[in-house]
């Protein structure tokens, strides 16, 4: 009887050990943590947000290579219909610290759709991007920049427009993209490109190097609006910046320069820019616009 007990005990220990070994084999490795963009204080640093619409596409991987080489971050406003087959690109965007955002499913003019159709375009795209990347978008860019209060309510996400429009869809010129991309951005600005056009992607290495020479740091849209609450349905052209400190009074008692607290121009001496065809954007000291703007050029 003792022998039988010992045999049963041994068999029990062997079965337990076998179960433990099987359990070890079935444990999946922990997922690799998603890298986050390095912290940047855009209230102090000279930040710019490069944004790319209508992808992902055949040129997006090359663009990601260029951004990685420059240590830059960008925001991709993607069409839901382009996600299938490009899931690896979306995963890479997130892994390399870029931001994924919503540009509708099929690029319609949202003001021409019913509210239910607007919601369907947005939600279907959010679902596709989240399934592919693991991240659900929190920002929306209306195709053509066409939106209004009704569309904003249906979208129920902050609507990100732009302060610099490269018009790359129109001219398809590398040199023009470089000129606009390097000379027009100001601190707190949002620049519009399209990663579906080869000339746009061809220009990006020189745009990045040119903006670096001007002292810019490349950040995502969320980073450039850090510390600000973006309201669902509202429109944003660029990030607000603190007012410049007034210069000390001259010995005669007459203030030097413009009156204290009254900036005379945009972030670096130039007025803010709005989407093509729209009114000038507010001074950067003003809260980002929530007023509907005129539709922009036909390929945003």
Annotate 1-16 with DSSP letters as a single string: -HHHHHHHHHHHHHHH
How far is Cα 141 from Cα 159, in angstroms, rounded to an integer?
A: 5
Return the residue matching tokens 């003001």. 111
Which residues does 125 contact at the CB level (< 8 Å), separation at least 6?
Answer: 78, 79, 80, 83, 102, 103, 104, 105, 137
Return the residue matching tokens 């973006």. 230
Return the residue matching tokens 């992607």. 201
Beta bridge partners of 218: 48
The radius of gyration of the chain's CA atoms, rounded to the nearest angstrom, is 25
Closest of 42, 67, 76, 39 to residue 187, by C-alpha: 42
User: What are the angstrom distances between the C-alpha of 110 and each of 35, 139, 146, 219, 239?
Assistant: 34, 15, 6, 28, 24
How far is Cα 275 from Cα 144, in angstroms, rounded to an integer?
A: 9
Residues annotated as catalytic are: 53, 194
Tokens of 124: 């279907």
Q: Are 78 and 55 in contact (CB under 8 A)?
A: yes
**Strands, E assignment, the chain:** 47-53, 75-78, 99-102, 159-160, 164-165, 189-194, 217-219, 235-236
115-133 and 87-95 helices, crossing angle to 10°:
70
Question: 80: which DSSP letter?
Answer: G
């Amino acid at each position: 009887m003792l022998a039988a007990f010992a045999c049963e005990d041994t068999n029990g220990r062997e079965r337990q050990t076998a179960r433990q070994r099987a359990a070890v084999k079935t444990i999946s490795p922990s997922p690799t943590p998603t890298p986050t963009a390095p912290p940047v204080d855009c209230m102090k640093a000279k930040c710019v947000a490069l944004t790319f619409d209508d992808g992902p596409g055949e040129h997006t991987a090359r663009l990601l290579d260029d951004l990685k080489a420059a240590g830059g971050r960008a925001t991709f406003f993607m069409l839901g219909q382009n996600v299938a087959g490009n899931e690896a690109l979306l995963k890479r965007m997130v892994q390399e610290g870029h931001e994924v955002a919503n540009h509708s499913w099929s690029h319609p003019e949202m003001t021409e759709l019913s509210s239910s159709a607007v919601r369907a375009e947005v939600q279907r795209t959010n679902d596709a991007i989240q399934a592919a990347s693991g991240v659900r978008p929190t920002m929306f860019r209306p195709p053509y920049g066409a939106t209004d209060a009704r569309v904003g309510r249906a979208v129920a996400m902050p609507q990100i427009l732009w302060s610099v429009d490269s018009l790359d869809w129109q001219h398809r010129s590398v040199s023009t993209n470089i000129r606009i991309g390097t000379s027009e951005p100001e601190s707190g600005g949002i620049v519009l490109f399209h990663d579906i056009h080869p000339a746009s992607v061809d220009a990006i290495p020189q745009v990045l190097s040119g903006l670096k020479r001007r002292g810019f740091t490349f950040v995502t849209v969320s980073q450039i609006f850090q510390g600000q609450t973006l309201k669902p349905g509202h429109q944003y052209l660029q990030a607000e910046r603190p007012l410049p400190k007034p210069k000390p009074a001259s010995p005669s008692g007459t203030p030097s320069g413009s009156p204290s607290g009254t900036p005379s121009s945009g972030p670096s001496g130039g007025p803010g820019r709005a989407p093509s065809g729209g009114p000038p954007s507010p001074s950067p000291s003003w809260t980002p616009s929530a007023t509907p703007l005129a539709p922009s050029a036909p390929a945003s």
